[in-house]
């Protein structure tokens, strides 16, 4: 594998991602994803994952952790100084989370996990933006993560604003506009509670679909059986995570 100043060559990255003849024009990871010169490449956090956790086992780890959190019996795994020093050398997260930036939904806490366990991307409305997709491509194609969970939550403010369909200041509107297509299948005439819950679920499903539709890397990993994308909803009143089918 070609390495230049601690970086993986782009030819090796495409092999790792299972793609070929595919161009990336955007920049990501602090400007390290820039094509142009032969030696340009993306940051190499560590070599390929030597012991990847398969998607089903990864999902079980998450749901088991949520049960511990839900019943107030957390184990706080992988939070010791010794583990901190271990993962400082290399990271091999067993799951990636595309979650909402809502302060009440911290993934490591609600899944009772620790340092190096989860690759977490958080943005209001758990929107699958270009930057979020790029981050998840990195987690899967480079770090070897085989599970992505799109984690929405009940009473999501960003989804509520999309339902209101009113003008918003600054760049907040960009987030809301990225949610509105998800509302096409939602009956907006029903009661507010059911309407909001339906919209949250529709948005989780929509953003999960966007991941594979807008990313050749993720789509090919899915096709090769090396990745699973799952939708889930967090109840901010109870702490329970439910899988969305």
Strand partners, 96: 119, 148
User: Is 237 marked as a binding-site residue?
Assistant: no
User: Is 153 marked as a binding-site residue?
Assistant: yes
User: Is 102 marked as a binding-site residue?
Assistant: yes
Indicate the pairing of strand 228-234 with strand 147-153: parallel
User: Is 233 marked as a binding-site residue?
Assistant: no
In this structure, are residues 243 and 231 in contact, taking their beta carbons and an 8 Å threshold? yes
In this structure, are residues 91 and 52 in contact, taking their beta carbons and an 8 Å threshold? no
In sequence order, the 6+-apart residues with CB closer than 8 A to the CB of 101 are 122, 123, 124
The annotated binding site is made up of 100, 102, 153, 156
* Annotated binding-site residue numbers for Zn(2+): 100, 102, 153, 156
């Amino acid at each position: 594998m070609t390495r230049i100043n601690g970086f993986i060559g782009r030819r090796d990255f495409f092999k790792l991602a299972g793609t070929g003849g595919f161009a990336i024009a955007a920049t990501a990871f602090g400007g390290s994803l820039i094509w142009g010169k032969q030696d340009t490449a993306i940051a190499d956090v560590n070599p390929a994952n030597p012991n990847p956790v398969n998607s089903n086992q990864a999902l079980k780890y998450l749901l088991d952790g949520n049960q511990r959190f839900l019943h107030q019996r957390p184990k706080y795994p992988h939070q010791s100084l010794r583990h901190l020093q271990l993962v400082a050398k290399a990271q091999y997260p067993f799951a990636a989370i595309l979650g909402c930036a809502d302060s009440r939904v911290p993934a490591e806490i609600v899944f009772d996990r620790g340092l190096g366990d989860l690759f977490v991307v958080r943005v209001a409305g758990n929107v699958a933006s270009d930057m979020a997709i790029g981050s998840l491509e990195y987690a899967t194609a480079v770090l070897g993560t085989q599970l992505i969970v799109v984690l929405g939550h009940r009473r999501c403010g960003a989804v509520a604003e999309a339902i209101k369909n009113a003008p918003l200041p600054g760049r907040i509107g960009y987030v809301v506009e990225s949610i509105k297509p998800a509302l096409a299948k939602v009956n907006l005439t029903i009661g507010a509670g059911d309407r909001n819950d339906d919209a949250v679920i529709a948005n989780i499903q929509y953003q999960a679909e966007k991941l594979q539709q807008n990313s050749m890397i993720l789509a090919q990993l899915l096709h090769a059986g090396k990745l699973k994308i799952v939708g889930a909803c967090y109840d901010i009143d109870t702490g329970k995570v439910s899988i969305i089918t």
